[in-house]
Structure 1
């Protein structure tokens, strides 16, 4: 089988000079669950390395990976740096990861320019929104009145709430329309939707945006929940159609 090659944006672990146990060099890693989610439909996940830093050398660039790979999945993880959407951090712990933002924004732009589909998960949705000119709530609990608990540190991926799939959206063609149970592992969220995007799902209690899609041009879509964590026995929605739709777009891009 000619398997699809799908890029995974890396998570960063930066050196910390004040902690003796911390690594002295930047570490790049991916979540096993996300790689296995892609592999469940026969795709080959490939971590895309960074293209900056004191150890970077050689002529390999982000465009080389965008040409070679068939699509890109944006990982969850650290907060987005508020400076990426024109704000200052309201608290030190919401400073985010500026280096990772710059790396992932370059990835989104390169893959879209190459005509390759991009799918975002959790932080991936937030980063995609920011990369296209949108803004974020730095903290839903303190900035959005009436917000649900979208992140419970103890429950983690076993923190659930309902989501409404909006009628008429592409997502409603892939998943049963109406209300469904999803997991929730985020404290930030979309405040101002990026131009050229539409909302495909919302939290019915507080209106938090849970899924977005680009309305024209390159194939870009994202969800705020973690489909790679969903286990059917917990009563959550089956996200397999989302993965298949993304991979179908990747296959189409390969043959275009």
Structure 2
């Protein structure tokens, strides 16, 4: 009955929302910054735009990255050229950025300000573990640091946007445009928290549940797992990398607009770290079912800031032709069908509808 109710409520919310793009009354471009624009991220976001899941009139995208990241961005350039995608441009930042100067004026500060002024919103994608040094903790044996300069660049960008406890005298860029849209997905949410002075749980199974083996984790209640640990026991490439589980949302206004109601939608997660202490002015918007893991955050002063720990963006959730297995003995199944059968797919559509609305209604001041 709960699944049916969720489906009915969310169907009413999103009814007819994809028949046409959200119209921007101003003919000017709406500019979105995509941070870490790998071929994979560009492909999935372009899919969302093509399918009108993200629906913004006159959208242009600037993919922003740092030259010291480990990824080869010539792959992104070739992808855009081969697909003839003209509304997305790439911008490399090569100014020096170090762990020691993330939370202060640095060589990237003017670039952050320039990008902010000429855009309407920014989206930070998922990725690998954050270096614990940037939130002043020792490094767990289970933390894997693989792309430090990406983290320095993104954490500093989010600090410049939102401010943080580390430097209370700094004036955040969003003070100039409080309705500016800032979304962070998975790592993006974690970086948002760390950038504003928060801290991290470096491994959920060991620190939260006192579990020390994969087998113990797989015996947990499904809603207490946050990635697919079957992958630790097999090289089966047909398995989902992440895990489907329910979350608790006391009220959904920040996610899907003005509707206020409690929901327990099914979501897809792929992480082993989580927020511990909240950063400056951040608030909890959703938790795991057992209330031990923060699943979404918002901001006290800036209404269009949203961090979500789960993934609403993957093409494997929206394309019914893409199928994987939850466990080795299962049949292949589309993430789309898993969400649909639970009554939670419309929730994912509504997240992107609200993102599109926020982005479209931004002030057009790009002076």
**CA deviations over 1:34-64 (Å, ceiling 9, x no partner):** 34335531443321122768x9379982222
**CA deviations over 1:130-157 (Å, ceiling 9, x no partner):** 1111111111011112782211163435
Per the normalisation by structure 2, the TM-score is 0.57
Structure 1 equivalent of residue 130 of structure 2: 80
Check whether the contact 1:183–1:225 (CA below 8 A) recurs between aligned residues.
Answer: yes
Q: Identify if the C-alpha distance between structure 1 residues 234 and 30 changes in structure 2 by more than 3 Å, giving closer, same or farther.
A: same
Structure 2 equivalent of residue 233 of structure 1: 337
Distance 2:136 2:303 in 1: 25
Alignment of 1:75-154 (within 5 A): 75-91=125-141, 93-95=143-145, 97-112=147-162, 113-114=173-174, 115=177, 116-145=180-209, 148-152=224-228, 154=231
Structure 2 equivalent of residue 17 of structure 1: none
Distance 1:198 1:248 in 2: 22
Check whether the contact 2:298–2:305 (CA below 8 A) recurs between aligned residues.
Answer: yes
Distance 1:51 1:63 in 2: 18
Between 1:142-151 and 1:78-87, the stretch displaced more is 142-151
Check whether the contact 1:169–1:200 (CA below 8 A) recurs between aligned residues.
Answer: no
Structure 1 equivalent of residue 99 of structure 2: none
For the pair 1:156 / 2:240, whether they are aligned, the reply is: yes
**Structure holding more strand per residue:** 1
Distance 2:142 2:289 in 1: 31
Per the normalisation by structure 1, the TM-score is 0.79
SS at match of 2:362: helix
Which has more radius of gyration? 2
For structure 1, the residue ranges without an aligned partner over 5 or more in a row are: 12-27
| RMSD (Å), alpha carbons | 3.0
Q: Which runs of 4+ in 1 moved over 6 A?
A: 57-60
The count of aligned residue pairs is 239
